[in-house]
Amino acid sequence: MWPCITICRPLLLKLRSRYAFSKDTRQTLVSPSKLIFRPSASCTGVGKKWTRPTGYDTGLKTYNSLTKQKEPLVLAQEGIATWYSCGPTVYDHAHLGHACSYVRFDIIQRVLSRVFGINVIHVMVITDIDDKIIRRALEKSISPTVLARMYEEEFKNDMLALKVLPPAVYLRVTENIPQIVAFIEGIIRNEHAYATKQGDVYFDIGSIGDRYGKLMGAGDATGEPGDREKRDSRDFALWKASKPQEPSWESPWGKGRPGWHIECSTIASSVFGSQLDFHSGGIDLAFPHHENEIAQCEAYHQCGQWGNYFLHSGHLHLKGSAEKMSKSLNNYITIKDFLESYSANEFRMFCLLTKYRSAIDYSDASLNEARSSLATITAFTHDAQAYMRGQLQCPAVEEGALWERLAETKANVVRALADDFDTPRVVNAIMSLVYHGNRQLQPITKPDRSPRSPAVFGAFLAYIREVFEVLGVDLLDRKEAHSVDSSGTLENVVEQLARFRSDVRAFALSVQETPPGEPAHASPSPCSEKLPLLKACDTLRKDLASMGVHIRDRGPNSTWEISQKRPAGQDKK
């Protein structure tokens, strides 16, 4: 069994204490708005050049957006990865574009933890104050707080439905305003930001020279709209002066609220301090959001490399469109609507079939490919179990070759996961294992007393189930099975019905023995009086299939399985 290390609150607090209040940073707490950081010895790097971190080399490689290539994964502390991710801006329903990013990073975190024994300390921010939230609240005539809490809860429920593990802690922007104010004061004190007469505060991009643009380059970057007091058009807001009908908080520059980028820099630093192993988000956040986060943190901590590895997930596109799925383009499908037609397992398999940093096309065909892959695994599982029970008669299997195939697959899976979490290679390896297993499960009509090898198929099933459980796919469908019938009554009824049908079918297929002295028929067939019984057995099999109960006749025996049945018409978007 792969190691599974549990994230716990005491460890998070220990990390917060270690990184945010260590003697290395010599932090002095004067008041909630007077946090002073001095340069930390843990900060590394000079200019735009990425510096390989010092610490524990995991032996893994991951693509780093800072270098645009795969790099050795080196963690500051052995067995622990600090991870910050940009959470949702909670003003509307979450859609599949969001889901794709969160599921893909959930897969990576599961792999790090359960395959490679690395405890991932994951912190996510909830943006609960923002221009979009304020506008939507005004449209609905409710307070921004009520609106944000409503969609925050819906987001968390959506993640639960998609089997995304929650972070160690969610941190809301509005509950960290004193820390944000203190962080901005620190940047001003280090002469990398300035306040205007109107009460706005801007980051001074010119003050950091050519260090700006580590992710995407400074190039033709154009800044966000602002007042005429900005020193450079690229300068971005750290604090926005209050406007009528907007929530606001007190600050040294007057009432206002945080800018977009400062929230993430502050909250990540408040937990992890001046060094971060992983930062993740969708590729659309690389610029300007993550770029500006880097500038803020390195200006505040006065270091050359704050985040060591930036991971970005590819966009989700509607098939045939170059545009990403987004609310602004009004081309999105909500998670809730999607789950009425497909399962969480199917969506996760859909994500597994492409590399996490690749763009992915959404279509019925691509979802059906994921569904088909799961169906192939399910069918193999039922056949292997039938073989192990003795219900499926096969010729002697090449047991030694199957054990070798299993060992080879295990090695290939670990190699693929260690190479930038290559899940398509993992799925291909598992499907190849299933293919070779199926080749050995060829039913025969009459038992030939060949030696049987049930143990190797048990090992196949256990490993396949284990791999997908690590990746977040529940092949047992425990949730759906529980919702159908937690007592198992349905399965027992189907078992008895299938057994009765099998007995009737065996009787109908039996032939009358030829009396002594009479010539035997070359190809004996059931007598005509029994044909209606065979027809009835076939009709029952077809009727049950339409209800999601599939009976397969294997020579004289039969096997059955229950598939998830969906209402008619729900397979269309």
Task: Tell me the pLDDT tens digit for each residue of 387-420.
Answer: 999 888 899 999 999 999 999 999 999 999 999 9
pLDDT of amino acid 483: 44
**Hey, CA dihedral for 100, 106, 107, 112, is it positive or negative?**
positive
pLDDT of amino acid 235: 95
Distance CA 424, CA 494 (A): 36
With a CB cutoff of 8 Å and minimum separation 6, the contacts of 467 are: 413, 426, 430
pLDDT of amino acid 12: 41
Helix, strand, coil share of the chain (percent; to 5): 45, 15, 40
In the predicted model, what is the mean pLDDT of residues 423-436?
98
Bridge partners for 71 per DSSP: 62
pLDDT of amino acid 318: 83
> How much of the chain exceeds pLDDT 90, in percent?
66
Among the residue ranges 233-242, 309-318, 544-553, the one predicted with the least confidence is 544-553
CA nearest neighbour of 414 among 77, 63, 114: 114
Surface-to-core class of residue 208, CB atoms within 10 Å of its CB (0-12 exposed, 13-18 middle, 19+ buried): middle
Distance CA 289, CA 310 (A): 12
Please determine, for residue 567, whether its predicted confidence score (pLDDT) is greater than 90. no
pLDDT of amino acid 430: 98
Cα distances (Å, whole numbers) of residue 502 to 205, 381, 513 = 77, 21, 21
Structure-token match 């996510």, residue found? 124
In the predicted model, what is the mean pLDDT of residues 22-26?
33
Six token digits for residue 48: 């735009």
Among the residue ranges 167-181, 252-266, 376-390, 502-516, the one predicted with the least confidence is 502-516
Surface-to-core class of residue 129, CB atoms within 10 Å of its CB (0-12 exposed, 13-18 middle, 19+ buried): buried
pLDDT of amino acid 11: 43
The answer to whether 422 touches 355, Cβ cutoff 8 Å, is yes
Cα distances (Å, whole numbers) of residue 515 to 418, 523, 528 = 70, 16, 18
Six token digits for residue 402: 């199957």
The answer to whether 210 touches 218, Cβ cutoff 8 Å, is yes
pLDDT of amino acid 509: 82
Six token digits for residue 275: 């060094």
The mean predicted confidence, pLDDT, of the chain is: 86
Distance CA 211, CA 339 (A): 44
pLDDT of amino acid 522: 53
Please determine, for residue 435, whether its predicted confidence score (pLDDT) is greater than 90. yes
- pLDDT confidence band for 34 (50 / 70 / 90): very low
Q: Give kind and range of the element (H or E) at residue 326.
A: none
Task: Tell me the pLDDT tens digit for each residue of 476-535.
Answer: 865 544 444 444 678 778 888 988 988 888 888 887 665 666 665 555 666 778 888 888
pLDDT of amino acid 38: 36
- Pick the residue with more confidence: 12 or 409? 409
Cα distances (Å, whole numbers) of residue 97 to 88, 100, 198, 242 = 12, 5, 37, 32
